């Protein structure tokens, strides 16, 4: 068992856990934060995306022992921020959501992308979301949602 | 500017899903839960001689055939009594359920499942259509391995072939496809007040009830199915939840604790059902002026080890095998072949994509052979109102394909590009024409499903819709509400519509067959019209609507003759590709679609279905290779079974044409499967044009293109 301290959605937390446990399981089981989903368990689909020090990561591939001192943001935290609200609202307005299972991960990937490219081109959006799989939408409406969020971020 | 019901509104489920508030089955903790891990066969065919289960720690159980309650059937009732819940003797496919280990710790369950030792007597197995037809290793089903064997005759094919100047032969093949719904299969089963309650990520709550009750020797009312929020289905959650629910329900009757089974992705990809592989053999008779005068079609599908819904899939395939063309004289044989693979099952399109891909590629091959423009050949044979179908039924509606073609040719720059790109130049254009019959095949809606919808105005004035169709991403939570709100002249957000619970809602049928809007949505409209008259009367009020067959539709299920479907959706998909001359990698440069679905209930939802269906079909046509090796799927993770990402295809152009259908809600027809039916064929034909080789199978991978370029 290791004692691991990190910041979770702005609050410092300490857990006692084997360091090899997946961050995804720690979030879902220890903190009841279920916005991050398990779609594949091998870092291919992005449904478990969270932000680690501002960059999007697949939480199923992150051993919790590696996040000592890190800042982790999940959708539970992001949705309280202005940026999170803007992305979620843009997704609702753009018809970006169908079954919804990939959507939390898409929102996290969008947040990471917009932090880096506040006004991305369509190609940059597609590149930025390429680690997140969706089987329902064919992606177009998600790409439009991210572009709408970026424009609203600038007050249109 | 779109007005009326087609005008888009925000989906009712969008905010909670995007904000991560919506809870799927794996997100809901269950007190005292036992997790379930299925123990499966590791051979494809043979007999189990011995099952050696390790000593189990306290709180763990191994449940198998002997635990089925007295009088319960060890057969899962799908369309009929079908797969065994547990096998303890005959093995028909790799991954068949032997038992279920249950206990409080998932890690331990995996270790215990690995420690179960099963001894077999192995037998030779058939895996491919050819091996199944040859009854390799002895017949698995009956004496001919055929779950279904149908014949259709239209006109006088014998005379047409006797007059033929030449006959063009062709074989078109399609492979397995995995659904890859983003949320893997998951259910929780528990006892409540003496009843068995099943929470399931599923498309068909009443199917699960029907499947489970006989295994437990309980009445249907003793089994309650509550749909959990469902993260995609595409047909993969039509029957497969029956399999898991049956095993878990038997376990619950033994251990008297809640049992939860959530698949991980690898388990889901290895052991869930897939789309039927197909092989369609054509012989087409032409007269001396190269006019098509007759067609002989031999269609086969790989049904796998149990019947499942294969005969019905085969019916849809053969009824779609002339696609949108009025071929004068046709004889057809269709066979669903038993093999020792996981039973093939429903997948968006339900046989129609295989039929349409075969028809489209074959027509394009005929055009190549006779030196005619493929679109001109197709347009010369297109059905119109009054045309006779392959089942000697009638097209009852106005067909707008010609005007749709003018439009899509214009926006895609078809004529200019087609003349600029010489065949084999590396650039190619493909155009697929397609249709999809809405609702159950033949008389299924009338004779089997008998859908009912109830609507209530409660004491407090709030209106609730009660039906059994599920939201699985396609937007029903919003579109059903919009239909009712349009009639009742209220805000769609004020209408209640809960995820179905079989204890509360009437059976409006399964969420399949592009029937939810066209069939059930119509009942929502009718129930709302009845309720509207009583809306201002005091106290609770109720209305109910039941399905009736549209007038003028006739069907004989024995002979498969008549109107297989009351109405069709229609579509055209144009694709432009560039094929790299060295690597044979394909870049898709443009995707243009136009669809006629009667009337859109919500344009944004419709365009979302179009884009999603087209991209899924392009995956099927280009990337999604799923191969069997000794009865096991070789690709079994998302790393080796490749579905489209944001980077694989450009944005999809989507346009709609209205043609209101009098028996659909506000004129709407089916949509969800139509949009899957054509894009794979269009892609294959675009590559065919680019490399000037005859493309006869999908997926059209770079390896296949290289093979074509090398060997012709």
Contacts across the A-B interface (CB distance below 8 Å): 173
Query: B431 and B575: one domain?
Result: yes
Query: B516 and B465: one domain?
Result: yes
Query: B494 and B433: one domain?
Result: no
Query: B297 and B212: one domain?
Result: no
Rounded Cα distance between A60 and A58, Å, is: 5
**Would you say B98 and B87 are in contact if contact means Cβ atoms under 8 Å apart?**
yes
- Nearest Cα residue in chain B from A126: B646
Residue A116 makes CB contacts below 8 A (sequence gap 6+) with A128
Rounded Cα distance between B502 and B89, Å, is: 34
Length of chain A: 156
- Rounded to 10 degrees, what is the CA torsion of B661, B667, B668, B669? -10
The phi, psi pair for A154, rounded to 5°, reads -100, 15
Cα dist. B179→A97, B172, B238, B275 in Å?
Answer: 18, 22, 11, 8
**Would you say B237 and B203 are in contact if contact means Cβ atoms under 8 Å apart?**
yes
Query: B422 and B470: one domain?
Result: no
Closest alpha carbon to B516 in B475, B552, B571: B475
Q: A79: which DSSP letter?
A: T
Cβ contact (<8 Å) for B612 and A133?
Answer: no
Cβ neighbours of B604 in A, within 8 Å: 95, 141
Inform me whether the C-beta atom of residue B640 falls under 8 Å from chain A C-beta atoms. no
- Does some domain include residue B112? yes
CB within 8 Å of chain A, chain B residues 451-510: 472-475
pLDDT at B712: 75
Nearest to A95 among B604, B644, B652 (CB): B604
Which of the listed residues B518, B546, B574 is the one where a domain comes to its end? B546
CB within 8 Å of chain A, chain B residues 588-617: 604-605, 607-608, 610-616
**Would you say B62 and B53 are in contact if contact means Cβ atoms under 8 Å apart?**
yes
Bridge partners (DSSP) listed for residue B571: B434, B595
- Does some domain include residue B134? no
Which of the listed residues B212, B240, B271 is the one where a domain comes to its end? B271
- Does some domain include residue B3? no
Please list, residue by residue across B254-275, b when 16 or more beta carbons sit within 10 angstroms of its beta carbon and e when fewer do.
bbebbbbbbbbbebbbbbbbbb
Query: With a cut of 50, which residues of chain A have pLDDT below it?
Result: 156
Six-digit token pair at B627? 């191969």
Please list, residue by residue across B604-623, b when 16 or more beta carbons sit within 10 angstroms of its beta carbon and e when fewer do.
bbbbbbbbbbbbbbbbbbbb
Query: B519 and B416: one domain?
Result: no
pLDDT at B548: 95
Query: B101 and B233: one domain?
Result: yes
pLDDT at B490: 97
Query: B517 and B639: one domain?
Result: no
Cα dist. B376→B356, B363, B416, B591, B687 in Å?
Answer: 18, 11, 15, 20, 19
- Does some domain include residue B155? no
Bridge partners (DSSP) listed for residue B191: B196
Which of the listed residues B515, B546, B577 is the one where a domain comes to its end? B546
Query: B466 and B503: one domain?
Result: yes
In the three-class reduction of DSSP (H, G, I as helix; E, B as strand; rest coil), residue B223 is classed as strand
How many helices and strands in chain A, by DSSP H and E?
6, 5
Rounded Cα distance between B295 and B158, Å, is: 10
For residue B239, count CB atoms less than 10 angstroms from its CB and return exposed for 0-12, middle for 13-18, buried for 19 or more.
buried
CB within 8 Å of chain A, chain B residues 230-249: 230-232, 234
- Containing structural domain, residue B30: 25-123+179-271
Query: Strands A11-17, A49-52: parallel, antiparallel or unpaired by DSSP?
Result: unpaired
What's the gap between Cα B370 and its chain centre?
35
- Does some domain include residue B146? no
- Does some domain include residue B172? no
Query: B613 and B656: one domain?
Result: yes
Residue among A27, A93, A99, A120 with most chain B CBs within 10 A, to mutate: A99
Q: What H or E segment, with its residue span, contains residue A48?
A: none
Q: What H or E segment, with its residue span, contains residue B120?
A: strand B117-122
Query: B530 and B401: one domain?
Result: no
Predicted model pTM: 0.98
Whether ipTM > 0.95 holds is yes
Question: From the CA atom positions of chain B, what is the Rg in Å?
Answer: 25
The CATH number of residue B306's host domain is 3.30.365.10
Give residue B581's region: left, alpha or beta (phi > 0; psi -120 to 50).
alpha
Cβ contact (<8 Å) for B652 and A32?
Answer: no
Cα angle value B402/B656/B688 (rounded, 5°): 60
Domains of chain A: 2-77 (3.10.20.30), 78-153 (1.10.150.120)
Closest alpha carbon to B544 in B534, B536, B552, B554: B534
What interhelical angle do B476-488 and B522-534 show, nearest 10?
40
- Does some domain include residue B164? no
Cβ contact (<8 Å) for A137 and B612?
Answer: yes
Bridge partners (DSSP) listed for residue B590: B576
Longest dimension (CA), chain A: 50
Rounded Cα distance between B351 and B313, Å, is: 5
Number of structural domains in chain B? 3
- Does some domain include residue B566? yes
Rounded mean pLDDT for each run of 10 residues along chain B, 712 residues in total: 85 98 98 98 98 98 98 96 96 98 97 98 98 98 98 98 98 98 98 98 98 98 98 98 98 98 98 98 98 98 97 98 97 98 98 98 98 98 98 97 98 98 98 96 93 97 98 98 98 98 98 98 98 95 96 94 97 98 98 98 98 98 96 96 98 98 97 98 98 98 97 82
pLDDT at B2: 65
Query: B83 and B194: one domain?
Result: yes
């Amino acid at each position: 068992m290791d004692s691991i301290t990190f910041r979770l959605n702005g609050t410092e937390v300490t857990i006692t856990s084997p360091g090899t446990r997946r961050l995804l399981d720690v979030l879902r089981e220890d903190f009841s934060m279920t916005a991050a989903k398990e779609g594949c368990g091998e870092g291919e689909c992005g449904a478990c995306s969270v932000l680690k020090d501002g960059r999007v990561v697949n939480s199923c591939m992150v051993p919790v022992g590696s996040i000592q001192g890190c800042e982790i943001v999940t959708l539970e935290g992001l949705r309280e921020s202005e940026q999170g609200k803007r992305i979620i609202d843009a997704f609702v307005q753009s018809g970006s959501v169908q079954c919804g299972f990939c959507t939390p991960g898409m929102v996290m990937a969008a947040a990471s992308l917009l932090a880096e490219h506040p006004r991305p081109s369509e190609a940059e959006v597609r590149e930025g979301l390429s680690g997140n799989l969706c089987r329902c939408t064919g992606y177009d409406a998600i790409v439009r949602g991210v572009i709408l969020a970026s424009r609203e971020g600038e007050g249109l | 500017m779109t007005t009326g019901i087609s005008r888009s509104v925000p989906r009712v489920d969008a905010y909670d899903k995007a904000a991560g508030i919506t809870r799927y089955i794996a997100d809901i903790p269950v007190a005292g839960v036992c997790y379930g891990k299925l123990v499966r066969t590791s051979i494809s065919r043979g007999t189990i001689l011995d099952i050696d289960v390790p000593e189990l720690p306290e709180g763990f159980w191994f449940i198998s055939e002997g635990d089925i309650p007295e009088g319960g059937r060890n057969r899962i009732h799908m369309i009929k009594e079908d797969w065994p819940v547990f096998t303890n003797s005959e093995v028909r496919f790799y991954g068949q359920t032997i038992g279920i280990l249950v206990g409080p710790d998932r890690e331990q369950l995996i270790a215990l499942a690995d420690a179960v030792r099963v001894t077999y007597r192995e037998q030779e197995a058939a895996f491919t259509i050819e091996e199944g037809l040859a009854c390799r290793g002895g017949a698995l089903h009956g004496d001919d391995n055929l779950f279904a064997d149908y014949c259709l005759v239209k006109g006088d094919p014998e005379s047409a072939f006797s007059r033929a100047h030449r006959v063009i032969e062709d074989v078109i093949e399609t492979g397995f496809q995995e659904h890859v719904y983003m949320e893997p299969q998951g259910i929780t089963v528990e006892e409540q007040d003496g009843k068995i309650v099943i929470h399931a990520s599923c498309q068909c709550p009443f199917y699960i009830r029907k499947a489970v009750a006989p295994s437990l020797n309980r009445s249907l009312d003793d089994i309650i199915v509550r749909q959990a929020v469902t993260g995609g289905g595409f047909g993969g959650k039509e029957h497969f939840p029956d399999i898991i629910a049956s095993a878990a329900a038997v376990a619950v009757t033994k251990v008297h604790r809640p049992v939860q089974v959530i698949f991980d992705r690898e388990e889901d990809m290895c052991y869930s059902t897939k789309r039927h592989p197909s092989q369609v053999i054509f012989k087409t008779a032409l007269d001396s002026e190269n006019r098509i005068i007759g067609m002989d079609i031999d269609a086969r599908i790989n049904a796998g080890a149990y019947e499942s819904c294969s005969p019905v899939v085969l019916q849809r395939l053969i009824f779609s095998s002339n696609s949108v063309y009025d071929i004068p004289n046709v004889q057809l044989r269709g066979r669903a072949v038993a093999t020792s693979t996981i039973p093939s099952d429903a997948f968006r399109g339900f046989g129609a994509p295989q039929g349409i891909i075969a028809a489209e590629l074959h027509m394009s091959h005929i055009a190549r052979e006779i030196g005619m423009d493929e679109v001109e050949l197709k347009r010369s044979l297109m059905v119109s109102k009054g045309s006779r179908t392959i089942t000697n039924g009638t097209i009852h509606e106005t067909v707008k394909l010609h005007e749709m073609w003018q439009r899509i040719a214009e926006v895609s720059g078809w004529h200019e590009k087609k003349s600029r790109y010489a065949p084999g130049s590396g650039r190619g254009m493909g155009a697929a024409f397609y249709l999809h019959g809405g609702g159950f095949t033949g008389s299924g809606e009338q004779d089997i499903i008998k859908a009912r919808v109830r609507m209530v105005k409660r004491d407090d004035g709030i209106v609730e819709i009660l039906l059994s169709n599920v939201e699985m991403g396609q937007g029903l939570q919003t579109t059903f509400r919009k239909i009712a709100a349009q009639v009742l002249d209220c805000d769609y957000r004020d209408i209640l519509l809960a995820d179905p619970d079989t204890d509360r809602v009437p059976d409006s049928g399964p969420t399949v067959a592009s029937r939810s809007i066209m069939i059930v949505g119509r009942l929502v409209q009718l129930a709302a019209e009845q309720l509207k008259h009583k809306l201002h009367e005091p106290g609770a009020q109720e209305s109910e609507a039941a399905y009736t067959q549209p007038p003028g539709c006739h069907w004989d299920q024995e002979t498969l003759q008549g109107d297989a479907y009351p109405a069709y959706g229609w579509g055209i998909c144009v694709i432009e590709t560039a094929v790299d001359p060295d690597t044979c990698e394909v870049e898709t440069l443009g995707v243009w679609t136009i669809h006629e679905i009667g009337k859109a209930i919500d344009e944004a939802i419709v365009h979302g279905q179009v884009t999603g269906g087209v991209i899924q079909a392009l995956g099927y046509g280009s990337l999604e290779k799923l191969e069997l090796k000794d009865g096991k799927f070789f690709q079994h993770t998302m790393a080796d079974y490749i579905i489209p990402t944001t980077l694989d295809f450009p944005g999809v152009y989507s346009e709609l044409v209205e043609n209101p259908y009098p028996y659909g809600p506000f004129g709407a027809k089916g949509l969800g499967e139509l949009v899957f039916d054509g894009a794979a064929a269009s892609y294959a034909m675009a590559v065919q044009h680019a490399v000037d080789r005859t493309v006869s199978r999908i997926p059209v991978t770079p390896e296949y293109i290289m093979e074509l370029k090398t060997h012709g």
